[in-house]
């Protein structure tokens, strides 16, 4: 179970409810995840101000009670969260309805297909450094397209020019070492 003791009783109740289904409990990313035929269906955890369920293919749920949200608009495509602020918010029947629909969706093969992104444009700031430093350019080209994209997005997501420069200086040694931006978390 997640380490956040604030929601221990509530998370235990969610676990009991989910356990009434045919889903199989496992642990992924240090948290409980429930699967069907080794496919992630639902998980739960607690945060500072709320706890919640997340449905991995929640985009396909009908959401009759309008409780699901996309926690990271623009980034998260298929996952949807159902947030609770107290144990009293838990309605077992409603949760079981959503769980049964999620299970049926999984059985029906409904799952989000990752969209292949087209060629991503390297920002001028990074491109300038790559052109000026052949070793850096070679190191960058050796990275997988995924790692290249991580670095490009890291720079382009910054709003201020100073932040872009700081980020560029931070990532240069990582690129030279052949590391991805988030390798230490994998």
SS3 of the chain? CCCCHHHHHHHHHHHHHHCCCCCEEEEECCEEEEEECCEEEEEEEECCCCEEEEECCHHHCCCCCCCEECCCCCCCCCCEEEEECCHHHCCHHHHHHHHHHHHHHHHCCCCCCCCCCCCCCCCHHHHHHHHHCHHHHHHHHHCCHHHHHHHHHHHHCCCCHHHHHHHHHHHHHHHHCCCCCCHHHC
Note the pLDDT tens digit of each residue in 92-139: 999 999 999 999 999 999 888 766 666 778 999 999 999 999 999 999
**pLDDT of res. 115:** 65
* Residue 42 reports pLDDT greater than 50: yes
Mean pLDDT value across residues 161-183: 93
Indicate the pLDDT class of residue 3, thresholds 50, 70 and 90: low
DSSP-assigned beta bridge partners for residue 84: 51
Under the banding of pLDDT at 50, 70 and 90, the label for residue 76 is: confident
The residue among 4 and 18 whose pLDDT is bigger is 18
CATH of domain 5-107: 3.90.1150.200
Is the pLDDT assigned to residue 2 strictly greater than 50?
Answer: no
Residues 16-37 have a mean pLDDT of 95
Looking at residues 155-174, what average pLDDT do you find? 94
| Half-sphere exposure for 162 (CA within 13 Å, toward CB) | 0
Q: What pLDDT was estimated at residue 186? A: 61
The tokens describing 75, both together, are 């980034």
Which stretch of 17-26, 41-50, 106-115 has the lowest confidence by average pLDDT? 106-115
Tokens coding 63 = 């959401």
Average pLDDT over residues 13-17: 97
pLDDT score of 118: 63
CA atoms within 13 A on the CB side of 3: 2
Of the chain, the percentage scoring pLDDT greater than 90 comes to 78
CA distance 130 to 122: 10
The domain locations on the chain are 5-107, 124-185
Distance of alpha carbon 142 from alpha carbon 159, whole angstroms: 28
Question: Rounded to whole angstroms, how far apart are CA atoms 74 and 7?
Answer: 29
Confidence of residue 1 (pLDDT cuts 50, 70, 90): very low
């Amino acid at each position: 179970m997640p380490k956040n003791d604030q929601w221990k009783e509530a998370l235990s109740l969610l676990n009991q409810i989910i356990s009434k289904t045919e889903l199989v409990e496992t642990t992924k990313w240090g948290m409980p995840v429930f699967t069907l035929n080794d496919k992630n269906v639902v998980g739960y955890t607690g945060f500072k101000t709320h706890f919640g369920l997340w449905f991995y293919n929640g985009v396909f749920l009908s959401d009759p009670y309008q409780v699901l949200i996309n926690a990271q608009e623009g980034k998260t495509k298929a996952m949807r969260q159902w947030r609770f602020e107290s144990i009293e918010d838990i309605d077992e029947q409603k949760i079981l309805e959503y769980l049964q629909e999620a299970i049926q969706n999984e059985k029906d093969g409904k799952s989000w297909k990752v969209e292949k992104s087209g060629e991503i444009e390297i920002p001028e700031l990074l491109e300038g450094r790559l052109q000026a430093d052949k070793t850096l350019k070679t190191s960058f080209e050796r990275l997988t397209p995924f790692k290249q994209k991580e670095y490009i997005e890291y720079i382009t997501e910054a709003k201020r020019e100073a932040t872009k420069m700081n980020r560029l200086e931070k990532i240069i040694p990582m690129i030279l070492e052949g590391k991805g931006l988030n390798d230490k978390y994998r």
